[in-house]
Structure 1
Amino acid sequence: MSTRVALLYAFSLFSAAMLGLAGGAVWMVVSMYLRHSAPWLALPIGGLLALTIRTCVRPAGTGAALLAAAATLLAALYVNVLIAGVLIAGNMGLGLIEAMRTAGVGMLWQLARMALSPADFAWTGLGMLVAAWLAWWRRRRG
């Protein structure tokens, strides 16, 4: 594998990760607006991530499907960590960034894990499947 190909794969992975984090942040804004967790948003977020990845990052196929599913999972994990940070910030009267720095990654991750329900896992799994299918599927020409 040439250096150029390796750099393209690394850039694709980085792009998918950044898109997943952005998707998680958008998901958090909607969840905060609704004032409750919205695990069903894994479906539209996964769909948007898939379409963005197959349009801008990798062509439709297996690579795009794996990146889209991973980005959807990252968005689901990130939204739970962000919501834990928002709850800590609200309870302590701190800003979000200050609360997240004070709590640390370990505490935020534990709080996010404790808040997960079986429905969250089901919606995330469905979102990952939708994302993978949309990123993998190719329109037939003919």
Structure 2
Amino acid sequence: MSSPMSVRSALLFVFALFSAAMLGLAAGAVWMVVSLYLRHPLPWLAPPIGALLGLAIRGSVRRPGTGAMLLAAGATALAGIYVNMLIAGVQIAGNMGVGLIDALRTAGPGMLWQLARLALTPADVGWTVLAVLLAGWLAQRAQSRR
């Protein structure tokens, strides 16, 4: 029989994981909107988004430490993957003359992932790695008191 504390810890972990994933997806969607508005990919937005995710996770989802660091790094990586997959979906939708939701549904995650991977440049990867490191660093360090 499991103790109430271990069940509570497991539920808190699942909630933190879910929250970090939702923050990452939301950040990726906002990043896509800005990229589409300016009509070109903006890989340099990865570090500011990573910083925001690191601070948000440290402040709201998990106390500073290793857990917050891993959640923030994962959420930032998820945002980077998601924005590239969404942009691939937008390009498919534009080329095929269908709506974004229809294009995403028809293409499926496998095709979107392959198209996103083909469009990646070394600069994109570099900005994303920098963002993941920044998010993790900000999430793991204790908040300074003023």
* TM-score (normalised: structure 1): 0.96
Task: Name the CA shift for 1:140/1:47 in 2 (closer, same or farther; >3 Å).
Answer: closer
Which one of the candidate residues 51, 74, 91 is aligned to 2:55? 51
What RMSD over aligned residues (CA atoms) do the two structures have, in Å? 1.3
Amino acid at match of 1:128: V
* TM-score (normalised: structure 2): 0.93
> Alpha-carbon deviation of 1:141?
5.5
| Distance across 2 between alignment mates of 1:79 and 1:139 | 29
Q: How many equivalent pairs are there?
A: 142
Q: Are 2:126 and 1:113 equivalent residues in the alignment? A: no
Which one of the candidate residues 7, 22, 47 is aligned to 2:11? 7
1:107 counterpart SS class: helix
Amino acid at match of 1:79: V
Which residue does 1:41 correspond to in 2? Answer: 45
Which one of the candidate residues 97, 100, 123 is aligned to 1:96? 100
1:138 counterpart SS class: coil
Which one of the candidate residues 51, 63, 66 is aligned to 2:67? 63
**Long gaps (5+) in structure 1:** none
Which one of the candidate residues 119, 122, 138 is aligned to 1:134? 138
How big is each residue's C-alpha offset from its partner over 1:58-97, in whole Å with a ceiling of 9 and x where there is no partner?
Answer: 0111111110000000000000000000000011111000
Identity of aligned residues (%): 70
**Long gaps (5+) in structure 2:** none
2:49 counterpart SS class: helix
| Distance across 2 between alignment mates of 1:51 and 1:139 | 9
